[in-house]
Amino acid sequence: MAARILVVGDPFWPSSVLRQTFAPLESLADIAYVDVVDEPDWVPATQSELSLREVIGSPRQVIQALDDHDILVLQGAPVSDAVLDAAPRLRLVCCARGGPVNVDVAAATARGIPVVTTPGKNADAVAELTIGFLVMLARRLPEVVRHVESGGEFAHDNYEGARWFGHDLAGKTLGLVGFGQVGRRVAARARAFEMRVVAHDPFVAREAVIAEGVEPVDLDDLLATSDAVSLHARATADNAGLIGRAEVARMKRGVLLVNTARLSLVDEAALADGLRTGQLGGLAVDVVSPSPDVGRHPLLAFPNVIVTTHIGGATIETLQHGGEMAVADIERFLHGEPLRNVADRAALGPTGVALTGR
């Protein structure tokens, strides 16, 4: 009997763009597609549901689509213990994101169900956006665009650019806080701009950083020497507020700061103070506190700020890459080969191959 796969799309990762990606599995399994929708009235009630974060839809929507499926694939839909129990044959969960925050991994492990993820699926997209932010800040594009859009004069004089002198990136020092999948790609692109790149990441060996042509430094040195600082650390309880008033004060005056990682890494009030005093010469954030019900976001009071709507991974290629990584691990699973991106290795046998029973 062929394996049965349920692919659960959502508004960000719609099944309509995944069918071609999952086509290579059609000779190995029966594939069904469904999409969950946002369900703002759903309130987590059980301990399992309360452990889930960043979900789209509700467990009820997933349960309604489940039958005797062997493999469940999703990106933002919630996977609680009730979801796992609704499919007695379930043997594998594929969460197409870097971390399975919307999956009760402990419940899956207890049932012998491995959970695989797709780390780095959006790394190229986020790295490219980061470099774009750096160019825009260095060349003062936020100020120039606001000048033009507000009715300011332009195209009257060959020398009017004198009002907007910025900086080249070449020869400047870029400090990367975090040197994982995204950080390494930002470094490669920044070096192509002839920037000097330094990095701080306590979880990456110095030799691995040096191998990428990047200088490993401690955080204090990075803050003191960098002309631009870009954040790429995964959010943890230990690094909440990593960049606060003290850290901003240790930076070079006029430093450019980019955050395409997580909001929890920064103290927004400290950033606003840094912009107000000129300690920060420019700020670009793809992750930010919610916009107010009335008025503008406080950071938009400053002309040298870019705020975007969490678009770091919002590319078609990111969606496809996540699907391709999921397909690759599903193929390994179906052929009895070791899985690659496993979040709960306790659910595997000693050889790294998924167990067949719960």
Does 208 fall in a domain? Answer: yes
The residue range of the domain holding 159 is 123-307
Residues 267 and 174 in one domain: yes
Same domain for 141 and 265? Answer: yes
Domain shared by 39 and 132, yes or no: no
**Structure token digits, residue 189:** 């692109």
- Do 40 and 116 fall within a single domain? yes
Reported for 88-93, long-range contacts at CB under 8 A and 24+ positions apart, including other chains, are 89/4, 90/66, 91/333, 91/354, 91/356, 92/116, 92/330, 92/333, 92/354
* pTM attached to this predicted model: 0.90
Both 273 and 137 in one domain: the answer is yes
Q: Are 112 and 10 in the same domain?
A: yes
Residues 322 and 302 reside in one and the same domain = no
Please say whether the dihedral angle defined by the alpha carbons of residues 9, 11, 15 and 17, taken in this order, is positive or negative: negative
pLDDT for 344 equals 84
The partner residues of 258 in beta bridges, in order of sequence, read 230, 284
In-domain check, residue 60: yes
Residues 238 and 133 in one domain: yes
| pLDDT for residue 335 | 95
Q: Do 189 and 214 belong together in one domain?
A: yes
Do 282 and 303 fall into the same domain? yes
Q: Is residue 353 part of a domain?
A: no
Query: Is 243 inside any structural domain?
Result: yes
| Residue 100 resides in a domain | yes
Task: Confirm whether 93 is domain-assigned.
Answer: yes
**Which CATH number goes with the domain that contains 27?**
3.40.50.720
Q: What is the CA radius of gyration of the chain?
A: 23
Question: Per the domain annotation, does 354 fall within a domain?
Answer: no
Domain check: are 173 and 320 in the same one? no
What is the phi/psi pair of residue 356, to 5°?
-95, -15
| Same domain for 284 and 141 | yes
pLDDT at 346: 79
Q: How many domains does the chain have?
A: 2
Alpha helices by DSSP H, listed for 260-315, are 268-277
Q: What is the C-alpha to C-alpha distance for residues 151 and 133, in angstroms, rounded to an integer?
A: 24
Q: 45 in helix, strand or coil?
A: coil
Per-block mean pLDDT, blocks of 10 residues, the chain (358 long): 93 92 94 96 96 96 96 98 96 95 97 96 97 98 94 89 94 98 98 98 97 97 98 92 97 98 96 98 97 92 97 94 96 95 80 55
Asked whether residue 355 is assigned to any structural domain, the reply reads no
